[in-house]
Amino acid sequence: MKLHQRSLLYTFLLFVVFQVAAQSGSDYNVKDHYTKTEVDIPMRDGTKLHTTIYSPKDTSKKYPIIMQRTPYNSRPYGEGQMRSMIGPNQYLMQQGNIIVYQDVRGRWMSEGKYDNMRAYIPNKKGEQFDEASDTYDTIDWLVKNVDNNNGNVGMWGISYPGFYSVYSLVDSHKALKAVSPQAGISDFFFDDFHHNGAYLLSYWRATALFGYQKDAPTTESWYELPGLGTQDQYQFFLDHTPLSSLDEYYKEDNEFWQQLKDHPNYDEFWESRGIIQHLDDVKPAVMIVGGLFDAEDLYGPFNEYKKIEETSNTYNILVYGPWSHGDWAREGGRQSVGNVYFEDSLSTRYQQDYETKFFNHFLKQNGKGSLDLAEAHIYDTGKREWTDYEQWPPKNTVAKTFYLGDDQELTTAATDTKQEFVSDPEKPVSYNNEIKTVFTPREYMTGDQRFAARRPDVLVYETEVLDEDLSVVGEIEAMLKVATTGTAADWVVKVIDVYPPDAENYPETMDHLKMSNYHMMVRSEVMRGRFRNDFSKPEPFEPNTKTDVNLTLQGVNHTFKKGHKMQIQIQSTWFPLIDLNPQTYVDNIFKAEKEDFQKQTHTVFGDSAIKFSVLKK
Residue 242 lies in a domain: no
pLDDT > 50? residue 350: yes
Number of compact structural domains in the chain:
2
Distances (CA, A) of 332 to 7, 48, 335, 407: 20, 38, 7, 43
Same domain, 498 and 587: yes
Cβ neighbours around 539 below 10 Å, total: 14
How far is 90 from 26, CA to CA, in rounded Å? Answer: 11
pLDDT > 60? residue 138: yes
Same domain, 114 and 41: yes
**CATH number of the domain residue 434 falls in:** 2.60.120.260
The H or E element spanning position 257 is helix 255-262
Stated pTM of the model: 0.95
Same domain, 301 and 176: yes
Q: Where do the DSSP E strands lie in 269-327?
A: 285-291, 316-321
Q: Quick one: pLDDT at residue 17?
A: 43
Domain end point (choices 389, 406, 426): 389
Q: How confident is the model at residue 331 (pLDDT cuts 50, 70, 90)?
A: very high
Residue 245 lies in a domain: no
How far is 12 from 8, CA to CA, in rounded Å? Answer: 6
pLDDT, tens digit, 9 for 90 and up, residues 515-558: 999 999 999 999 999 999 999 999 999 999 999 999 999 999 99
Hey, which residues does 36 pair with through a beta bridge? 54
- What's the whole-number mean pLDDT along residues 552-569? 98
pLDDT, tens digit, 9 for 90 and up, residues 175-215: 999 999 999 999 989 999 999 999 999 999 999 999 999 99
Residue 266 lies in a domain: no
Same domain, 376 and 482: no
Q: Quick one: pLDDT at residue 14?
A: 42
Residue 216 lies in a domain: no
Residue 287 makes CB contacts below 8 A (sequence gap 6+) with 178, 179, 180, 317, 318, 319, 354, 355, 358, 373
pLDDT > 60? residue 169: yes
Q: Quick one: pLDDT at residue 23?
A: 42
368, 546 in Cβ contact below 8 A? no
26 against 426, higher pLDDT? 426
pLDDT, tens digit, 9 for 90 and up, residues 595-615: 999 999 999 999 999 999 999
- What's the whole-number mean pLDDT along residues 23-50? 90
Q: What is the CA radius of gyration of the chain?
A: 24
pLDDT > 50? residue 496: yes
506, 500 in Cβ contact below 8 A? no
pLDDT > 60? residue 21: no
Burial of 313 (0-12, 13-18, 19+ CB in 10 A): exposed
Same domain, 382 and 410: no
Same domain, 407 and 337: no
pLDDT > 90? residue 295: yes
Same domain, 150 and 37: yes
Residue 443 lies in a domain: yes
Burial of 587 (0-12, 13-18, 19+ CB in 10 A): exposed
114 against 512, higher pLDDT? 114
Domain end point (choices 336, 363, 389): 389
How far is 404 from 414, CA to CA, in rounded Å? Answer: 8
Q: Quick one: pLDDT at residue 26?
A: 62
152, 258 in Cβ contact below 8 A? no
Residue 177 lies in a domain: yes
Same domain, 572 and 594: yes
Arithmetic mean of pLDDT over the chain: 95
- What's the whole-number mean pLDDT along residues 160-184? 98
Same domain, 382 and 402: no
The H or E element spanning position 380 is strand 376-380
Residue 220 lies in a domain: no
- What's the whole-number mean pLDDT along residues 370-379? 97
Residues, the chain: 617
**CATH number of the domain residue 73 falls in:** 3.40.50.1820
pLDDT > 50? residue 167: yes
Q: Where do the DSSP E strands lie in 159-281?
A: 176-182, 194-195, 198-199
Same domain, 151 and 299: yes
Same domain, 402 and 299: no
The residue range of the domain holding 511 is 397-615
Q: What percent of the chain has pLDDT over 90?
A: 93
Same domain, 56 and 117: yes
311, 279 in Cβ contact below 8 A? yes
pLDDT > 90? residue 248: yes
Residue 210 lies in a domain: no
Q: Quick one: pLDDT at residue 439?
A: 79
Domain end point (choices 389, 406, 441): 389
pLDDT, tens digit, 9 for 90 and up, residues 53-95: 999 999 999 999 999 999 999 999 999 999 999 999 999 999 9
How far is 348 from 329, CA to CA, in rounded Å? Answer: 9
